[in-house]
Amino acid sequence: MNSIQDLIEFARIDTTSAKGKGEEGAKFIRDYMQEHGIEARIIRHRSKNPYVYGEINVGATKTLLIYNHYDVQPAEPLDKWNSDPFDPVIKDGKLVGRGVGDDKGSLMARLQALIEMGKPPMNIKFIYEGEEEIGSPNIDLFLAEHRELLASDYVLWEGAGRGSSGAPTIVLGVKGLLYVEISVRTQKDLHSMYAPVAKNPAWELVYLLSSLKSGGRVNLPGFYDKVKWLTEEERRYLKGNKRSMEDALGQELPDDFQRRLVEEPTCNIAGLYSGYTGEGSKTVIPSYAMAKLDFRLVPDQDPDEILKILQDHLKGVDIKVWGKVRPYRTSINSKIAKSLMDSAKKVYGVDPEVIPNSYGTGPMESFARILQNNQIADGVGVEHPGSNIHSFNENIYVDDYMKAKEWMKSFVRHLAQP
């Protein structure tokens, strides 16, 4: 096994779920597990991209379920990449390519660690999905129909990495998501000379959007009603290095950036389109204007309730829903949390950063609710704050990848202790 080379082979496969790609990636990882002596199979369900399930049964009393996803975000805009997103290269100690951070790198680091362990001290189950990046539209039904297969004592989430403080990160929850596309139409494009009297969907969209948010605050009535703001205790576990995060994001940040990233729900414009966007000028009144919006939700906001509020606010506007995920938080006193914290400290030599819920989203709540498991936590990941996940030039440090493998081994040993 050549660990980095194998990851590169995996990352070469375009598994952009937003474009319906993934099948080839699923087969690759199934084959990879089988070649290394792990029982594995493809499970077809309602998703276009299949699930991959694997198992190492050592006859132990406790079982860890490892969740990862093999799909990736679209690589566009391609001209911003310094190398082909689907032909990963190693440069200056970094591996660059789509998915090396989110989530193929963590998937492979954990898998290779367990393969290297030979016989781990507890039972391991693997579940890999192929539509996390489009909001895991079918995960609930899949889990409900595979409750026994996935029965476990602990769930290890998809993988974080090092935070902006440099310390390894443990995350005990996720934000939720509501992803919508709103659009305004008229019958046809018109010459812009009719602008004194004609409706312009682009203007209508601008006014609608500016009504949604101002001064950093979402203006939908009741939007913040169910937000569980962090307690003083939870805030104490937050770390985060402002300078390093600013470098990573290429922007100046407020001092309370870490609290806000964890605690605040958002309304983000992810895309805008209307009319003529090419070179030069076209004097047209567009017949169509569209915005893609993602709302990151925090415990205990409910995406269905937020959607209802949005529909009431945007009466008569076409709203297409592209994704809904509920937020979730687990306890910092759980066995899985303690095992992650102890093993992290052992491997990295520093106290880990513990985050009540991630800045991002995943179907963690579905696992908790459907599998009736409240020991779900994230750790053992390969990313760093400059990994540019979901953006261009996505990358991880090769050293971080190797360290994650060590952490995985130590974590499993801690977790297996009675």
Q: Are strands 89-91 and 376-377 parallel, antiparallel or unpaired?
A: unpaired
HSE-CB at 162 with a 13 A cutoff on CA atoms is 25
HSE-CB at 227 with a 13 A cutoff on CA atoms is 16
Contact 344, 337 (CB under 8 A): no
State which of residues 41, 116, 229, 276 lies at the interface with a second copy (CB under 8 A): 276
User: 314: part of which helix (H) or strand (E)?
Assistant: none
Kindly state the smallest distance separating residue 191's Cβ from a second copy, in Å: 4
DSSP letter, residue 50 = P
Kindly state the smallest distance separating residue 375's Cβ from a second copy, in Å: 24
Mapped onto helix, strand or coil, the DSSP state of residue 32 is: helix
Question: Residues 161 to 190: which contact a second copy by CB under 8 A?
Answer: 175, 177, 179, 186-190
Residue number with CB closer to a second copy (27 or 48): 48
**Interface with a second copy by CB under 8 A: which range of 40-48, 144-152, 256-264, 398-406?**
256-264
Neighbours of 119 (CB within 10 A): 7
Report how far residue 95's alpha carbon sits from residue 106's, in angstroms, rounded to the nearest whole number: 13
State which of residues 207, 222, 229, 308 lies at the interface with a second copy (CB under 8 A): 207
Question: Residues 67 to 106: which contact a second copy by CB under 8 A?
Answer: 73-74, 76-77, 80
Lateral strand order in the sheet of 63-69: 39-43, 51-56, 123-129, 63-69, 154-156, 376-377
State which of residues 107, 127, 290, 408 lies at the interface with a second copy (CB under 8 A): 290
281 binds a second copy (CB under 8 A): yes
388 binds a second copy (CB under 8 A): yes
Residue number with CB closer to a second copy (148 or 252): 252
State which of residues 294, 353, 378, 400 lies at the interface with a second copy (CB under 8 A): 294
Kindly state the smallest distance separating residue 368's Cβ from a second copy, in Å: 20
Specify which residues 328 forms β-bridges with: 174
134 binds a second copy (CB under 8 A): yes
State which of residues 11, 40, 289, 364 lies at the interface with a second copy (CB under 8 A): 289
Residue number with CB closer to a second copy (64 or 218): 218
Structural tokens at position 154: 């602990």
Output b/e per residue, 293-320; b: 16+ Cβ within 10 A.
Answer: bbbbbbbebbbebbbebbeeebeeeeee
State which of residues 4, 9, 18, 149 lies at the interface with a second copy (CB under 8 A): 18
**Interface with a second copy by CB under 8 A: which range of 33-41, 231-239, 253-261, 328-336?**
253-261
State which of residues 5, 57, 283, 417 lies at the interface with a second copy (CB under 8 A): 283
